Amino acid sequence: MIIAIDGPAGTGKSTIAKILAQRLNIVFLNSGSFYRGITLSLLEANIDLSDEDGILQFTDSLKLEYINEHLIVNGVDVNHLLHSDIVDAHAAQISSIVPLRHIVNKKLREITKSLSVVCEGRDITTVVFPNAEFKFYLDASLEAQAERRFKQGCSNLSLEEIKETIRKRDEIDKNKKEGSLVIAKDAVYIDTSDLTIEEVCEIIVNKIHI
């Protein structure tokens, strides 16, 4: 079974997907962690981020595994390094590279061959798992998005700076050549701006009939 959740940054997708997966006793699959992990590895290896061929060659050589809901790159658990400002600043650009998206999508589909998952991202309901049993689109106002990121405490930026970073990132995510963030016709749309995490979870659980 696949429960697919899409939406922009700071809508609570990861937290909610994690809680749902726990409640349903299935795996939480965070697709953004793959784009973030690749971005981190590119930065660490000092790859020129304007050289698409170089990026693809490097990405192809990476060993990407998803174990116990953590991303493992070349045998190293990088989960705790994925939400730094520098990764935040470059992940959207890196995730715009179409063949790189194909590498990630293949990986995500491989993982779900043997597992039931709650998978969240930007193109999960539309491109990666268009036949998912349940689909949700979580949205929020820019103010709510920025405040949530700010409260996570993993950024050194001010609230206004975070707002601007999120605005730019969502704009890139909504205008990608492939895998852009759109609302799937058959997804349940939830505006989470004035809802708590628990309230959103309740709405979703009530829509899921297993």
* Binding positions for ligand DC, rule: CB under 6 A: 9, 31-32, 35-36, 91-92, 95, 121-124, 169, 173, 179
The C-alpha atoms of residue 135 and residue 107 are separated, in whole angstroms, by: 20
Q: How far is the CB of 9 from ligand DC (least distance, A)?
A: 5
Longest pairwise C-alpha distance within the chain: 47
Nearer to ligand DC, 35 or 201 (CB): 35
User: What is the SS3 assignment for 55?
Assistant: helix
Nearer to ligand DC, 36 or 135 (CB): 36
Core vs surface per residue 148-183: b (16+ CB within 10 A) or e? bbbeeeebebeeeebbebbeebbeebeebeebebbe
Q: How far is the CB of 202 from ligand DC (least distance, A)?
A: 22
Q: How far is the CB of 209 from ligand DC (least distance, A)?
A: 25
Say if strands 70-73 and 76-77 run parallel, antiparallel, or are unpaired: antiparallel
Nearer to ligand DC, 25 or 154 (CB): 154
Q: How far is the CB of 107 from ligand DC (least distance, A)?
A: 11
Which tokens hold the place of 63?
A: 């060993």
Which tokens hold the place of 26?
A: 């299935």
The C-alpha atoms of residue 5 and residue 125 are separated, in whole angstroms, by: 7
The C-alpha atoms of residue 94 and residue 88 are separated, in whole angstroms, by: 11
The C-alpha atoms of residue 168 and residue 76 are separated, in whole angstroms, by: 30
Q: How far is the CB of 45 from ligand DC (least distance, A)?
A: 19
Nearer to ligand DC, 59 or 173 (CB): 173
Q: How far is the CB of 111 from ligand DC (least distance, A)?
A: 13
The C-alpha atoms of residue 60 and residue 103 are separated, in whole angstroms, by: 8
